[in-house]
Amino acid sequence: MAMAGADSAALEALPWRGGAKERPALPVPPEPMPLRLDGRWRKRWRYVAAFDPAVMLCAAVVEVGPVRESFWALWERAPGRLRERTRPLLPRRRGEVELDGPRATVRSRDVEIELDLGETEAIECACRYGDGYTWTRKRAGMAVRGTVRAGGRVYELAGRGVDDESAGYHPRRTSWRWSAGVGRSKSGDDVAWNLVAGINDPAASSERAIWVGGSAREPGPVVFEELGAIRFGDGTRMEFAAEAGRERSEGIPLLFRSEYEAPFGTFSGTLGGIELADGIGVMERHEALW
């Protein structure tokens, strides 16, 4: 289905950030969205990650126009083993990754993952890109419980996680840096974050969020120093030490191309004015032609 253009008044109201009842009058999930808008393919994904002292993992289902795929990655910290797989999603066939509400499952060869995601405050935002727009809903810091079986090892996971639902009509060329993770402040509070530069990142009403004790606030714009640190407006930095490197380059001629690095690792320093006692999560560099 093609759509000539989005509602001009709704586009003029962007950027927007708020709750589900206050959304602008634009099609966003769970409503159906046209496959194309003003010549741009619809992009849509859900990405779930869990961070635990023993393992770090992620699982996602991604759509770019008519192309669909899933991927997952599992970093076993003590043995130092990274397992990952990316697979196309075929019509009418169950995929290796299933994300259904608070449940996330992976079934792939000798890896089985079953997760239950808890609750925390969600943030939503929508941003305009010419005659197109993007929407995202982010949660971070919620409890994640489940079981991970990998190559004969069994992990009873009791960590915290991240849930990213996104959709929209992004520019043909899109480049971003992103980080999400969980940790504790030196004062003893549970903290979590979703930080980005290059997408959904206006000065205000962005997708940037820091959760403290389950409540979210929006920090100002940030600068990514490659994938080694994130610098905040006050000059403080949150530093990253990679444990497991993840890189992938893929594409379909004339339709899309994607190159990314997304290592798991640990964080230290200052998170938007909060001194970290510890932090764990992911950094990402993504270059897309879609």
Contact predicate 129/15, CB 8 Å: no
Write out pLDDT tens, residues 35-81: 999 889 999 999 999 999 999 999 999 999 988 999 999 999 999 99
92 CA to centre of own chain:
26
Cβ of 41: how many Cβ atoms within 10 Å?
19
DSSP assigned state of 259: E
Query: Which tokens is 137 given?
Result: 């809903």
- Residue 171 CA, chain-centre distance (Å), reads 18
Work out whether strand 173-185 and strand 215-217 pair parallel, antiparallel, or are unpaired: unpaired
Q: How many CA atoms lie within 13 A of 164 on its CB side?
A: 27
Spans of all domains in the chain: 2-289
Whether residue 15 has a cis bond before it, omega within 30° of 0: yes
pTM of the model: 0.94
Q: Which sign, positive or negative, has the C-alpha torsion 205, 35, 139, 24?
A: positive
CA triple 163-67-173, angle to 5 deg: 75
Give the pLDDT of residue 3.
44
Give the confidence band of 253 by pLDDT, cuts at 50, 70, 90.
confident
Three-class SS of residue 214? coil
Nearest to 277 by CA among 235, 238, 233: 238
End-to-end CA distance of the chain: 18
Taking only the tens place, the pLDDT of each residue in 144-178 is 999 999 999 999 999 999 999 999 999 999 999 99
pLDDT tens-digit series, residues 6-39: 788 899 999 999 988 889 899 999 999 999 998 8
